[in-house]
A and B are shown apart, each in its own frame.
Chain A
């Protein structure tokens, strides 16, 4: 999209229609089946597979279109920022609940493995650095570097999840399960954060698949930047969680 005044005015007058796709219908179907999966667990993998196919079809554009809103900002970037704002409220509710239950649960916080999760924190911080380096490489048309940074980010995200699972295993070994007051708040909070990390990794698998098919160019950088916003936000959430759950 050009910043030339005439072109921008023209763009604002346009009605932007995305290309036809059955992806959103498949996504809706996948989410529905996934929701039923919480009652009938056999449906969970089916819903997840249908959902992933839908996301794949929806995300499979060669270039993210450069549509600007009347505010002069990129429409998809705006959408991601609004989504992240809603995520702030989501995690605020979980964190507040954790803090409230932590007070009532008594002294169990000493069971938390601070050194282990410090390593986890460094893994996520490093993954943020590698994610932004991947974006930078793509913007400079260094596709091999982009691919390598992306793979590094995936590995670091996966290692963080591994560290988190180790921590969970230790706590369960100490009798802190979802059946306890502290455990229910802790596992819900860190579990939802871990789920966000997992979703980010799946997102990177899609990006990597497109890269390997030769469909990534500097013009695709906006899509990668939108992914980066999500990934860095997940890092920010962990910065808050690490302080509140492990250090305070």
Chain B
């Protein structure tokens, strides 16, 4: 218990300013909905910034074992594959039907 308490104390000393992070998240969201609605690339970058802030500081990935970050990032290449495959497969073909055969030819 003593060791656990000391771990908590150590964690508390390294605790980020949660209110400041909330303020930044709110500001980014305001920028998204007011200034960046017609800029897709900016919207994606702003979303990624919000994800990094939440995962890094609210989920404490910034201070936790690197294993957790590795586990959290591991699915991303597979996510990219699934996104490409499904979006291509479900996109309308020339005749308006789904182009499932098109995605099959990718593999």
In Å, the complex CA distance between A99 and B75 comes to: 19
Chain B residues positioned under 8 Å from A121 (CB to CB): 29
Instruction: Pick from A26-34, A132-140, A202-210 the stretch touching chain B.
Output: A132-140
Q: Given A95, A131, A243, which contacts B32 in the complex, CB threshold below 8 Å?
A: A243
Given A96-B82, A100-B98, A128-B58, 7 more A-B residue pairs with CB atoms under 8 Å apart are: A84-B72, A93-B86, A100-B89, A225-B60, A232-B58, A236-B54, A247-B33
Q: B107: CB under 8 A from chain A?
A: no
Chain A binding surface, main DSSP class: helix
- Of all A-B residue pairs in the complex, the 6 with the closest CB atoms, nearest first, are A100-B90, A96-B86, A129-B22, A92-B79, A243-B47, A88-B75
The residue in chain B whose Cβ has the minimal distance to the Cβ of A66 is B4
The residue in chain B whose Cβ has the minimal distance to the Cβ of A244 is B47
Shortest distance between the CB of A114 and any CB in chain B (Å):
7
In Å, the complex CA distance between A2 and B2 comes to: 9
Chain B binding surface, main DSSP class: helix
Q: Given B15, B47, B85, B89, which contacts A239 in the complex, CB threshold below 8 Å?
A: B47
Contact with A along B31-65 (1 / 0, CB 8 A): 01100110010011011001100110011100011
Given A121-B29, A218-B5, A239-B54, A126 contacting B22 (CB threshold 8 A): yes
Shortest distance between the CB of A186 and any CB in chain B (Å):
14
Q: How large is the interface on B (under 10, 10 to 19, 20 to 34, 35 or more residues)?
A: 35 or more
Do the beta carbons of B67 and A2 come within 8 Å of each other? no
Q: Given A78, A89, A132, A243, which contacts B79 in the complex, CB threshold below 8 Å?
A: A89
Q: How large is the interface on A (under 10, 10 to 19, 20 to 34, 35 or more residues)?
A: 35 or more
Contact with A along B78-101 (1 / 0, CB 8 A): 110011011111111000101000
Q: Given B3, B59, B88, B91, which contacts A232 in the complex, CB threshold below 8 Å?
A: B59
Q: B104: CB under 8 A from chain A?
A: no
Report A20-48 residues with CB < 8 Å from chain B CB: none
Q: A60: CB under 8 A from chain B?
A: no
Do the beta carbons of A136 and B54 come within 8 Å of each other? no
Do the beta carbons of A1 and B89 come within 8 Å of each other? no
Q: A49: CB under 8 A from chain B?
A: no
Given A132-B58, A139-B8, A89 contacting B3 (CB threshold 8 A): no
Do the beta carbons of A93 and B65 come within 8 Å of each other? no
Q: A155: CB under 8 A from chain B?
A: no
